[in-house]
Chain A
């Protein structure tokens, strides 16, 4: 079956770095998405990876290893506003998005 695994909750300190991991099993693969969702709000797009390697976008970076079925989202210089849920989603061969349950990130001062 198709599956996405990511930690339920993580805690980090303001100004620090945190890495949120995601492993996926899909029938075929057409890319890996990360979305941010603040409590009570809509998800918003953060990144898309389809090739192996690291994509950097400001304080946020996303990494993909297709051979390992693994991705991570790296957040640097954490700010209080980064407190949110981070959703990992993999796209299968039919361009269907398979979503993880999300990782709730708590930032402490």
Chain B
């Protein structure tokens, strides 16, 4: 069982380029999330989806977009990358909605993104 798979694991890209981080889960979880993790800061929620077909904005949504066409996939797109988007990005899922409710989050291994 793979759990949550993220791709790529690491990427360097030039400022202004478009980038999509992929996230796929095989646990049939309803809720999925994208976080960024920066040194000295807690995980910050970018976007979330409580169920397929719906998405919502988190704490730091600007410059990012998501889609949830089906249960398994939740890609995160940076339309025009900027250096401040250099970070480690984690995709997560839970089997209950409402931003995780009381269910634990299962995280992917992360995507390390560097924008130059």
List residues of chain A with CB under 8 Å of any chain B CB: 4, 30-31, 33, 35, 41-45, 48, 50, 87, 89, 91, 94-102
Main secondary structure of the interface of B (DSSP, over half): loop
Q: A42-B107, A42-B108, A43-B90 are in contact. Are A31 and B40 (CB under 8 A)?
A: no
Alpha-carbon gap, A96 to B100, bound state (A): 8
Binary per-residue interface labels of chain B (55-88) against chain A in the complex, 1 for a CB within 8 Å, 0 otherwise: 0000000000000000000000000000000000
CB distance from B76 to the nearest CB of A (A): 16
Alpha-carbon gap, A28 to B115, bound state (A): 37
Q: Given known contacts A94-B99, A99-B44, what 16 new A-B pairs fall within 8 Å (CB)?
A: A33-B104, A41-B110, A43-B107, A44-B107, A87-B42, A89-B43, A91-B99, A91-B102, A95-B98, A97-B43, A97-B45, A97-B100, A97-B105, A98-B42, A100-B42, A102-B42
List residues of chain B with CB under 8 Å of any chain A CB: 40-45, 90, 98-102, 104-110
